[in-house]
Structure 1
Amino acid sequence: MKLTIEPLDFERDCRLLHAWVTHPRSAFWMMQDATLDDVRREYGAIVADPHHDVFLGRADGRPAFLVETYDPGRSPLADLPEFRPGDLGMHVLVGPPEGGPLPGFTTQVFAAVLEHCFADPAVRRVVVEPDVDNAAIRVKNVAAGFVELREVAVPGKTAMLSVCTREAYELATGATAPHLTPALMERAHRHLVAKAIGEYAHERLVTPEPDESRPGWWSLTAGTSSYSFSARVHPLEHWVVDADSIDPAPDAQAFVAELAPALGIPDQLLPTYLEEIASTLAAAAWKLRHRRIPVAELVDADYQTIEAAMTEGHPAFVANNGRIGFGLDDYQAFAPETGEPVRLHWLAARRAVTRLTLGAGRTEEELYDGELARSTRERFHARLRGLGLDPADYLFLPVHPWQWVNKLAVTFAPDLARRDLVHLGAGDDEHRPQQSIRTFFNQSRPERHYVKTALAIQNMGFLRGLSPAYMEATPAINDWVAATVEADPELRSTGFTVLRELAAIGYTGDAFHRHAGPSPYRKLVAALWRESPVPQLGAGERPATMASLLHRDADGDALVTALIKASPVDAATWVRGYLRAYLRPLVHCLYAYDLAFMPHGENLVLVLRDHVPVRALMKDIGEEVAVMGSLPLPPEVERIRGAFPDDVKALAIHTDVFDGVLRFVGAILAEDGVLGSDEFWGLVRATIEEHLADHPELADAAAHYDLLRPSFRHSCLNRLQLRNTLQMVDLADQAESLIFAGTLANPVARR
């Protein structure tokens, strides 16, 4: 039997409702003596109420039941203390059956009604208040997952207040992937295709055509399909596409496949990219279903609550949640947006075939004393002694739980059997995965270091391993960068600092190091430790990932807008403070040292005071920093020197800051009516000019980089992933891997 639910047609259905509510079996509806006019008045008021809705249910097309939903907080029950945000009230009336009762029909109706209620991702619980004497309906409520809370007095009856949570509903229905519903997946498709249109158009892979008959509307042909949509274009050719406007309703995988020739996806890699698109859709649906934290709750939220609330992934990459290798259980256990605590596993790695490098002045004992409780280390030692091994012959190496189960216990089975590696079990501290997915924040002891682990999943153009050979210089590089930053008066004045990677460890005793050439297999057993921002915070300061400035919640509200409104300053002052904390130090490092970072949202921690950014902490230094000039470097740091063409050097600001971060922030503020684009980019230009006015000794460097030139080369990220989704760039020669699409007009150009 097919059950459907549709909005009530009041004029058409009024007589039908009168027959139903006055039927003897509807006694608990309390309208036995109602006239047709009474029903007309009652349901006319409901239809007119924006907080109360009424629906008609059909069975195989025949009218069969009535559904009402309402906001309990705006009902006669509003004062009850049990109500929470996300509650939805519900009434259901099954019409008199034609030809006698149909066994199991009411149960089917209940299931359809609850599915209808929970189809709205904002609904966390369904609330009902049946008459305490209505035993039959109370039994069905409990069977459907409702919990009876208590008796309450409501007009005309004593009711049994009952609630059904999403979790209880799903348990009762046996749902194993409740986020994979048509409604949520349609929203995920629309969001991803809107982003794809915007970013592919930004990179000039597709060219939407304006609709001359409808200002603000565009069309795009993809293969044999044609789409229309409304959109606005902001500086730096930044498209904001209205997802709900896309017609016809899009399928993200079909959209990509139709565009594959124009996107330049190699035939042999199209299935891999489509898998990453599917995984990104699945993650989006999961977030819509489970991770609906309104921006209002994030304005004052703690560091890790904000981190787990991020829903977009990388703002520019379309396939940004690939995570190929994770199953559903892995996703729920280890994805940062699930917010689940993780206990890292530990290996003992034979010292003779393991590299541990430490920052200046640090010792092995100091590292492990700070990261492992004495009782934990004693447990590890006991495990080794129990195997007849000397703990002094081993180093301790943290690994991702997924990595242990799926890679190390299998791919490195010979190493474990000969005791070059020994599994020591899970550690005692609970960690939280960060947006970079393989980096962990210590939730049990926030002052302890971040831990970055190797993770052999394919995500956003790379297998997420860590190279022991490459990381050997990481602590020395971090020491040099930190010392350079700390010694500079300008950087000290802005509060700009780096979170140093203090130690790196990697196992090299495997067959892949001994008998084969370089490959991802050499990057599977390694980790590093990075400073936590928590010990660096002052009174009244709180940290937040800079990625949060690009975040919109499920209702479309932007966190950056909410922060500005919550702050004691106006929007221009807020943006000026943000640019002083973020942009000015990066410009100074470029001018003074030819030093470039990779300062995207997840690589930078903003420190807020009274909701205003006051300084910035840069992280991920060892892999993503470069010196682009002749500045003298210690031999062990020489690896970070790069040879770049002059027109590429300035992209450290033009691409990585302007195009990679500020075009999104500026567009959000313009879309929300907080700060116009001209004023926003004027503040960016003023920040650069004010820095030079304060540092006339850097005039030659400023002229060389010429950040205020009319245009700059348009370096494209999606083009890299589309060309080779398995390895976007050669990390040893990233400049040669870049793909350009002409030039972009510089929004801060001199006028």
Structure 2
Amino acid sequence: MSAPTTVHAFATRTRLGEITLEPVVPVRDAELVQGWLAHPAASSWQMGELRVDEVREYLAGLQAAPHEAAWLGRLDGEPVFLTETYDPARVLLADVHDARPGDLGMHLLVAPPDPPRHGLTDAVMTAVMRFCLSDGGRAGAGLGATRVVVEPDVGNRKIAAKNAAAGFRVLREVDLGRGAHAKRAALSVATRADFAASALGTGPLPGSSLLATHLTAEHMEHAHRHLVAKALAELAHERLFQPEPDDAPGAPPDGYRLALDGVTYRFTARRYALEHWVVDPASVRRTATAGMRGDVALPVDALELVAELQPLLQVPDGLLATYLEELSATLAGAAAKRERELDGHTPSVSGLLEAMRAASGTRAVAETFQQVEAAMSEGHPGFVANNGRIGFSLSDYRAYAPERGERMRVLWLAARRAHTHLALAADQTEAGHYGTPGVPGELSDAERAAFADRLAARGHDPADYLYLPVHPWQWEHRVAITFAADVARDDLVLLGPGSDEYQPQQSIRTLFNRTRPERHYVKVALAIQNMGFLRGLSPAYMRATPAINDWVADLVAGDATLRTAGFGVLREVAAAGYTGDVYHRAPLHKGQPNPHRKMLAALWRESPVAGLAAGERLVTMASLLHRDAGGVSFATALVRESGLSAEQWLRAYLDAYLYPLVHCLLRHELAFMPHGENLILVLRDGVVRRTLMKDIGEEVAVLGDRPLPERVERIRAAVDDEEKALAVFTDVFDGVLRHLSGILAEDGVLDEERFWALVAETIDRHAAEHPDVSGSGARAHLGVDLRAARFAHSCLNRLQLRNTLQMVDLANQSESLIYAGTLANPAGRPTGRRTER
């Protein structure tokens, strides 16, 4: 943004007196500024050798430039500083800074005081920040920036401390200038909120932790439109209604209308394979019929849309409020994500890719992996109400929501061993898991010693307890209340926070170790209501989890096809659960699951960081469906980053993702839950080279009658061949590839016909390379046919709308599914043609 050219003064009161700013007058001020620049304290400006006439020319150039300005600052009328402002999108930072609307670059030169005056620099910085950030548009006002950008030398510790005191956050280090003027700079930004809460700002307002700055009309308008567009698209996809072409005069050719009782929605959309709709949020119009007066415009409101659709949705009356609450929380989350994207807390797609390119070493790769994880703004691509998190307060959201990217420490409990189990993978031991002297495990020597001392101080033998991590929210809201009796009798003893910091993942209760990225993820119970489930963790399920993971990992490692594809699993190697509570002794109601039996358990999963080769990068597969605040697609950016054609890039992805899943299903009758959050993609130069599957214990299934070890038997879910095929049709085609195809087609990267042709080629190539496995071809009627013309249309939102508290019976998921006819398979065999073999 450019500084205004109107000559006016800005005035503000500081602790030292009134400070004013006015445009520099080069003829008048050159000699004064030259003296300041020549002082040793201004050496970082690298302009100490300039003569007065050269300084005059420099200042005149600034004042004449369209995107720069210089300002003279006075304290009680005495000149004491110079500040320069510039548009970072056009000046100095254009190649290294992902500028946002409202960004304003700033340089500050404070005159060397004689004699020194305590607090002068603080007062000047305060005044300059107020000048930059306060609203402009009138004489005597500030410049109206939303963010101030600075780029001090990384070695300048004094200015780093001063910037921190003004609320600046370092985004990254960048190289600026050339030759003698080159420097390594700490690119930093401060928003209005950052400055207001800083030591030099106005300070936090009373109760400021309760302020919901994201809940503004602007952010909520964007959230409503985004969610309404998604609801129209996904609910039409599930055939809950069918929008009609808009035949009104002047309607665009891609216009549609949905007429409800007294209310009509009009919007533009593109339609793709698998009845996939891409609705333009900005195009949505909601009107009410007002008789002779014509239509009356109404606000676009996602909650009102659900109320208007209720006769079609038929959410049970007793659960409608719960669904609306989840939808409200989803709206609030979308508004908060929007705020963070616009103020630069969340990197843009280009920022993410730049960080990935620059990452060097394990810790840097882990950092970029977690930046991508926190940047995801959509949640589940199919579910409308996908960020409910009922139970979180505003402060909980800020501390624990994945998109906040904050670090946290888990709390550790000592759980009496007589009531607690620890299940381990075959290659693990209890001592190795928790750690042995000199060999840290999940706990360091110091932590284990401190925990043992705390138990001994209460009169307990540490050998009588197992250590169990719990989420801080779970302790505060569930354990200390719901399990008060267990805590009082010391069956559960709070030991305190661990030393390692973790970052919540998109699955919210899974935590990535930021202190030691090569160590295990930890997954803990978090009894909030989110997307159709209470997010507990069952100790009963945990008992068999490591054994199931061992069996799956051995099967994958022993299959040459999967090894060649680079397909791997992140094993859940340890699980612990407490069952000493009264809830585990109380009878179940009609055999239904008891959520109180899922409050105290944890599991540990392998980290993908430990197995990386040089040059490899990690991202969640959900990133392929991500668009940033500017509408830039991560997948499209990766294609362009790779230097390959779109077809080559997609083939590599399908080889790493689809081919192994097809093989697991057809060779082993093994199905995963391979949606975006459950897969880690391993990239090299922007290309997907291999995939890592996670969340094995709860979501893997064997769909046939092959022999299984007794401890693994629980994952058997024998179904017929048509339902086996849905493991690919529903979870891969409809759940992932439908959305990715739409993105690449919308961006003009790859048309959908060619996209699905490559999918079909991948399936056919597997059949050709594995002729002994039934699938497409002459024996297709005897097995799973992934090239079938149609498949059953399984609907996710219908599940959530039917029962917002528990979408499916986890013990019998197949019987819980809801279908809406069939879908045409875009990778189906051409009509009348069938490959024989």
Q: When the two structures are superposed, what TM-score results if normalisation uses the length of structure 1?
A: 0.82
User: After the TM superposition, which residues 160-199 of structure 1 pair with which residues of structure 2 at under 5 Å, given as runs?
Assistant: 165-168=191-194, 170-171=196-197, 172=202, 174=205, 176-199=211-234
Equivalent residue in structure 2 for 1:218, among 233, 247, 256: 256
Structure 1 SS opposite 2:772: helix
Letter in 1 for 2:191: T
Query: Which residue is 1:512 aligned to?
Result: 583
Q: Name the CA distance, whole Å, in 1 between partners of 2:800 and 2:94.
A: 53
1:71–1:88: 8 Å Cα contact kept in structure 2?
no
Structure 1 residue 356: deviation in Å?
A: 1.1
Residue aligning to 2:685: 610
Q: Select which of 72, 87, 99 maps to 1:85.
A: 99
Instruction: Trace 1:25-44 onto structure 2 (pairs within 5 A).
Output: none
CA 1:114–1:433 in 2, change beyond 3 Å: closer, same or farther?
farther
CA contact under 8 A between 2:532 and 2:804: conserved in structure 1? yes
In 1, distance between residues paired with 2:267 and 2:468? 52
Deviation at 1:223, TM superposition (A): 3.5
> Which residue, out of 213, 216, 240, partners 1:205?
240
Distance 1:670 1:383, change over 3 A: same
Which of 687, 692, 695 aligns to 2:767? It is: 692
274, 277, 293: which is aligned to 1:239? 277
Counterpart check, 1:732 vs 2:803: no
- Superimposed CA distance per residue, residues 138-157 of structure 1 (whole angstroms, 9 cap, x where no aligned partner): xxxx9xx899xxxxxxxxxx
State the Cα deviation string for residues 448-495 of structure 1 (Å, max 9, x = none): 111000001000000000111122111111111111110001001001
User: How big is the shift at 1:185?
Assistant: 0.6
The residue identity in structure 2 corresponding to 1:321 is N
The SS at the match of 1:229 is strand
Partner-residue secondary structure (3-state), 1:239 = strand
- Decide whether aligned partners of structure 1 residues 471 and 74 sit closer, same or farther in structure 2, where only a CA change above 3 A counts: closer
| Secondary structure class of the residue paired with 2:602 | strand
Q: For 1:200, give the aligned amino acid.
A: L
Instruction: State how far apart, in whole Å, the 1-side matches of 2:137 and 2:662 are.
Output: 55
Partner of 1:67: none
Q: Which amino acid aligns with 2:147?
A: R
Q: 1:89 to 1:290 in 2, by over 3 A?
A: closer
Corresponding position of 2:81: none
Query: CA contact under 8 A between 1:51 and 1:74: conserved in structure 2?
Result: no
- In the alignment, the residues of structure 1 paired with residue 279 and residue 66 of structure 2 have an alpha-carbon distance, to the nearest angstrom, of 28
Task: Select which of 470, 489, 494 maps to 1:418.
Answer: 489
Q: Distance in 2 between matches of 1:415 and 1:480?
A: 35
The answer on whether the counterparts of 1:591 and 1:701 sit within 8 Å (CA) in structure 2 is no
**1:716 matched to 2:795:** yes
Query: What SS is found at the alignment partner of 2:396?
Result: helix
Task: Specify the code of the residue in structure 1 equivalent to 2:285.
Answer: D
In the aligned structure 2, how far is the partner of 1:71 from the partner of 1:341? Answer: 34
SS in 2 for 1:605: strand
| Cα displacement (A) at 1:112 | 5.8
Per-residue CA distance 1:594-623 (angstroms, 9 max, x = gap): 110000010011110111001110000011
Q: How far has the Cα of 1:78 moved from its partner? A: 5.2
Query: What aligned pairs does 1:113-132 form with structure 2 within 5 A after superposition?
Result: 123-125=146-148
**2:562 corresponding residue in structure 1:** 491
Q: Does 1:73 align with 2:152?
A: no
> What SS does the corresponding residue of 1:371 show, helix, strand or coil?
coil
For 1:524 and 1:298, how far apart are their aligned partners in 2?
36
1:83-136 deviation digits (Å, cap 9, x = unpaired): 883373689xxxxxxxxxxxxxxx999966599xxxxx9943389xxxxxxxxx
Unaligned 5+ segments in structure 1 are 1-16, 32-48, 53-69, 92-106, 116-120, 128-141, 148-161
Q: Structure 1's 259 and 710: CA in aligned 2 closer, same or farther, altered over 3 A?
A: same
In structure 2, relative to structure 1, the CA distance for the partners of 1:27 and 1:531 (3 Å cut) is closer
1:431 corresponds to which residue? 502
What residue in structure 2 maps to residue 670 of structure 1? 745
Identify the residue that residue 283 of structure 1 maps to in structure 2: 333
Q: Structure 1 pair 163/658, CA: closer, same or farther in 2 (3 Å)?
A: closer
- Within 5 Å, give how 1:246-395 maps onto structure 2: 246-248=284-286, 249-291=299-341, 292-299=346-353, 300-301=355-356, 302-369=368-435, 370-395=441-466
Query: Is the CA contact (8 Å cut-off) linking 1:399 and 1:454 kept in structure 2?
Result: yes
Residues in 1 aligned to 2:561 and 2:103: alpha-carbon distance in whole angstroms: 58
Residue 474 of structure 1, aligned match among 536, 541, 545: 545
Task: Give the Cα–Cα distance (whole angstroms) in 2 for the partners of residues 110 and 628 of structure 1.
Answer: 61
Q: TM-score, structure 2 length as denominator? A: 0.73
Paired residue type of 2:403: E
- In structure 2, what is the Cα distance between the partners aligned to 1:595 and 1:635? 17
| TM superposition outliers: structure 1 runs of 4+ over 4 Å | 20-23, 25-31, 49-52, 77-84, 107-115
Q: 1:655, 1:714 within 8 Å by CA — same for their partners in 2?
A: yes
1:485-520 CA distances to partner (integer Å, 9 max, x unpaired)?
Answer: 100010010010111111111100001012342510
- Higher RCO, Cα 8 Å, sep 6+: 1
Per-residue deviation, 1:165: 2.3
CA distance in structure 2 between the partners assigned to 1:163 and 1:325 by the alignment = 33
How far did residue 22 of structure 1 move? 10
What is the root-mean-square deviation of aligned Cα atoms in Å? 3.1
Distance (whole Å) between structure 2 residues aligned to residue 82 and residue 530 of structure 1: 37
In 2, Cα distance between the equivalents of 1:519 and 1:386?
35
Contact 1:355 1:472 in 2 (8 A): yes
Q: For residue 648 of structure 2, what is the aligned residue in structure 1?
A: 573
Q: CA offset at residue 646 of structure 1? A: 3.1
What number of residue pairs does the alignment pair up?
649
Sort the Cα spacing of 1:744 and 1:170 in 2 relative to 1 into closer, same or farther, 3 A.
farther
Mean alpha-carbon deviation: is it higher for 359-368 or for 502-511? 359-368
The answer on whether the counterparts of 2:88 and 2:104 sit within 8 Å (CA) in structure 1 is: no
Q: CA deviation at 1:677?
A: 0.3
CA shift for structure 1 position 224: 2.5
Distance in 1, matches of 2:820 and 2:555, equals: 35
- Corresponding residue SS for 1:85: coil
Alignment partner of 1:265: what SS? coil
Residues of 1 paired with 2:94 and 2:636: CA distance?
33
Contact 2:402 2:506 (8 Å CA) reproduced: yes
Q: For residues 80 and 606 of structure 1, do their structure 2 counterparts lie closer, same or farther at Cα, with a shift above 3 Å needed?
A: closer
- 8 Å CA contact 1:87–1:125 kept in 2: the answer is no
Change (3 A) 1:74 1:338: closer
Measured at CA, do residues 230 and 367 of structure 1 come closer, stay the same or move farther in structure 2, by a change above 3 Å? same
Contact 2:619 2:680 in 1 (8 A): yes
C-alpha distance in 2 between matches for 1:473 and 1:652: 23
> What does 1:541-690 align with in structure 2 at a 5 Å threshold?
541-690=616-765
CA deviation profile, 1:418-472 (whole Å, cap 9, x unmatched) = 0100001000000110000000110101111110000010000000001111221
Gaps of 5+ in 2: 12-19, 26-64, 69-84, 106-129, 139-143, 151-162, 169-187, 287-298, 357-367, 436-440, 831-837
CA contact (8 A) 2:776 2:786 kept: no
Task: Tell me whether 1:228 sits opposite 2:278 in the alignment.
Answer: no
In structure 2, relative to structure 1, the CA distance for the partners of 1:259 and 1:82 (3 Å cut) is closer
Residue of structure 2 equivalent to 1:9:
none
Distance 2:718 2:104 in 1: 66
Alpha-carbon spacing, 1:215–1:51, altered in 2? closer, same or farther (3 Å): farther
Q: SS in structure 1 opposite 2:826?
A: coil
What percentage of residue pairs aligned between the two structures are identical?
57
Whole-angstrom distance in 1 between the partners of 2:167 and 2:548 = 58
Distance 1:425 1:467 in 2: 23
